[in-house]
Amino acid sequence: MKTRNFDIAIVGAGITGLSFACAAVKRGYRVILFEKNEQACSASVRNFGLIWPMGQSAGPGYERAIKSRELWLQLARETGFWVSENGSLFVALHEDEMQVLEEYHKNFGSVTKILSPSEASNVSSHILKDKIRGALFSPHEMTINPPEAIQAITKWLKKNNNVEVRNGEMVYEAGNGIIRTSSGSWKADNIFICSGSVTHTLYSDVLKQQNLVSCKLQMMKFRPVRGTFNIGPTICGGLTLMHYDAFRHCPSIEKMKKRIFSELPEYVRYGIHVLVAQNNYNELLIGDSHEYGIEIDPFIKTEINKLILKYLDQYFPIKNLELTNIWSGIYLKNPGNTEFVYRADSSTFLITGFGGGGMTLAPAFAEDFLTSLRTP
Ligand SMILES: Cc1cc2nc3c(=O)[nH]c(=O)nc-3n(C[C@H](O)[C@H](O)[C@H](O)COP(=O)(O)OP(=O)(O)OC[C@H]3O[C@@H](n4cnc5c(N)ncnc54)[C@H](O)[C@@H]3O)c2cc1C
């Protein structure tokens, strides 16, 4: 047994584990962080990099996303990674989509703006204004470059004397204040297991019994063939309205869904909604699909990527862009909840299941969780 004791041990250096580490060092705790890979390479580096309050339902989810937004800005200042406060643009291709956007704006949109097709194309010049009915702009969404941000935060933690980061070290036992890996054992007052979609290493029996669902997503990256290419805000279309809880209460949503179910069954089948984000290298990240409950399917379906591009091409032509990367990512979702928390013993917590909102929610979740844990 190593002699050094820690206040907090964390398993997993994705955004959840890093958020707990950042919240813990801020409070002066001594932290040890284990990551089984040399660098985190799961969902936290495979995503769009969107800090996306618009994806959350109005109320606590949205507020938590806004709190995370502030924490991301603070972290970017402290660690030096790129962040763009570029907002989001929801474009409507059909009248029913426009109705949903207008209803959202009327009921929840204290900061949103409804834009005409011309106004939307002024905000994002690549959009074909003749093909859309209008748009909703929201200023609060932000973009980071996930691999760079995750690496910058990890490096920053490594420099802190109160933190020990152990990359390439898989934890095979964690509980009752003890962590074990192949190279030794450590003691900690609290253990946070932030293992993302990895369900077979720690507490697999617990995870199997829960209602958690795996989701596989496909993504593409393009770079401009020449010159600069600025999309302005992150762009999404009508399919996205089906996907987010934020629009659930809009009266026209059911009518819109009914049309999409009958007109675009293959999009519904693969859970496709189409988003275009841009990073600090001018590259466009385009996705994504949602295939649920997939146990082992390592293959990318080209059919899905073609469907995504076909949809986008209606209002955002894929011209002068070169495809550079395709990949998939997996996350765990806890249906009906924004996360999954399981208390394994008095001091060990299993925290995962942020679904498609981990980048948006984990920083504020970790802050709030540590505060509540240490408040008598
Ligand atoms: C394609 C895609 C697009 C997305 N887009 C967005 C977006 O734009 N905005 C947003 O908010 N969210 C987005 N998400 C969701 C978000 O990426 C996830 O919710 C989030 O990254 C989950 O983070 P995590 O740290 O819980 O899990 P992970 O990122 O999976 O990290 C878990 C880490 O734990 C490590 N680990 C597991 N077991 C062990 C062990 N026993 N010992 C040591 N280490 C271990 C793993 O190696 C891994 O690095 C997207 C997800 C995907 C897949």
Contact criterion met (CB below 8 Å) for 288 and 221: no
When divided into structural domains, the chain yields a total of 2
Domain membership flag for residue 104: yes
Same domain, 123 and 179: no
Q: Which residues pair with 31 in a beta bridge?
A: 8, 163
Q: From CA 237, how far away is CA 114, in angstroms rounded?
A: 14
Looking at the predicted structure, is the pLDDT value of residue 2 above 80? no
Same domain, 346 and 302: no
Domain membership flag for residue 177: yes
Residue whose CB lies within 8 A of the most ligand 1 atoms, among 331, 350, 369, for a mutation test: 331
* Mean of pLDDT values over 268-284: 97
Same domain, 299 and 324: yes
358 in contact with ligand 1, CB cutoff 6 A: yes
CATH number of the domain that 264 lies in? 3.30.9.10
Helix axes 253-263, 95-108, angle to 10 degrees: 150
Same domain, 171 and 317: no
Same domain, 169 and 105: no
CA 46 to centroid of ligand 1, rounded, Å = 8
Same domain, 158 and 255: no
Residues 6+ apart with CB under 8 A from 283: 221, 222, 223, 324
Looking at the predicted structure, is the pLDDT value of residue 376 above 60? no
Residue nearest to atom 52 of ligand 1 (CA): 47
Peptide bond into 7 cis (omega under 30): no
Q: From CA 292, how far away is CA 116, in angstroms rounded?
A: 36
Same domain, 121 and 266: yes
Domain membership flag for residue 31: yes
Same domain, 326 and 248: yes
Q: Closest ligand 1 atom, CA of 354?
A: 19
Looking at the predicted structure, is the pLDDT value of residue 1 above 70? no
Looking at the predicted structure, is the pLDDT value of residue 294 above 80? no
Return the closest-CA partner of residue 139 out of 218, 208, 75, 86: 86
Contact criterion met (CB below 8 Å) for 232 and 82: no
Residue nearest to atom 7 of ligand 1 (CA): 50
Residue nearest to atom 3 of ligand 1 (CA): 47
Residue 376: other Cβ atoms inside 10 A: 2
Alpha-carbon distances of 318 from 224, 267, 313, 343, rounded to whole Å:
10, 19, 6, 47
Share of the chain above pLDDT 90, in %: 90
Quote the pLDDT of residue 205: 93
> Based on the number of CB atoms within 10 Å of its own CB, is 146 exposed (0-12), middle (13-18) or buried (19 or more)?
buried
Residues 6+ apart with CB under 8 A from 349: 190, 191, 192, 193, 341, 342, 343, 369
Whether the CA torsion 22, 47, 115, 94 is positive or negative: it is negative
In this prediction, residue 245 has a pLDDT band, given cuts at 50, 70 and 90, of: confident
* Mean of pLDDT values over 43-57: 96
* Mean of pLDDT values over 280-286: 97
In this prediction, residue 149 has a pLDDT band, given cuts at 50, 70 and 90, of: very high
Q: From CA 132, how far away is CA 94, in angstroms rounded?
A: 7
CATH number of the domain that 205 lies in? 3.50.50.60
For the chain, give the number of residues.
376
CA 267 to centroid of ligand 1, rounded, Å = 24
Contact criterion met (CB below 8 Å) for 67 and 173: no
Same domain, 183 and 230: no
Same domain, 127 and 187: no
SS3 (DSSP) at 25: helix
Domain membership flag for residue 363: yes
> Based on the number of CB atoms within 10 Å of its own CB, is 67 exposed (0-12), middle (13-18) or buried (19 or more)?
middle
Quote the pLDDT of residue 375: 61
Give the domain range for residue 114: 88-139+213-333
Q: Closest ligand 1 atom, CA of 169?
A: 43
Mean pLDDT of the chain: 95
Domain membership flag for residue 56: no
Residue 83 carries which DSSP code? E
Return the closest-CA partner of residue 277 out of 96, 116, 84, 111: 84
Residues 6+ apart with CB under 8 A from 197: 42, 43, 214, 330, 331, 332, 352
Same domain, 244 and 311: yes
Quote the pLDDT of residue 4: 65
Domain membership flag for residue 304: yes
Residue whose CB lies within 8 A of the most ligand 1 atoms, among 19, 22, 36, 219, for a mutation test: 36
Quote the pLDDT of residue 227: 83
Q: pTM higher than 0.95, yes or no? A: yes
Return the closest-CA partner of residue 54 out of 36, 69, 35, 76: 69
Contact criterion met (CB below 8 Å) for 183 and 169: yes
Quote the pLDDT of residue 109: 78
CA 350 to centroid of ligand 1, rounded, Å = 14
* Mean of pLDDT values over 256-265: 98
112 in contact with ligand 1, CB cutoff 6 A: no
Domain membership flag for residue 70: no
Domain membership flag for residue 54: no
CA 73 to centroid of ligand 1, rounded, Å = 20
Looking at the predicted structure, is the pLDDT value of residue 3 above 60? no
Model confidence pLDDT, tens digit, residues 297-338: 889 999 999 999 999 999 999 889 999 999 999 999 999 999
Residue whose CB lies within 8 A of the most ligand 1 atoms, among 32, 46, 47, for a mutation test: 47
Same domain, 228 and 323: yes
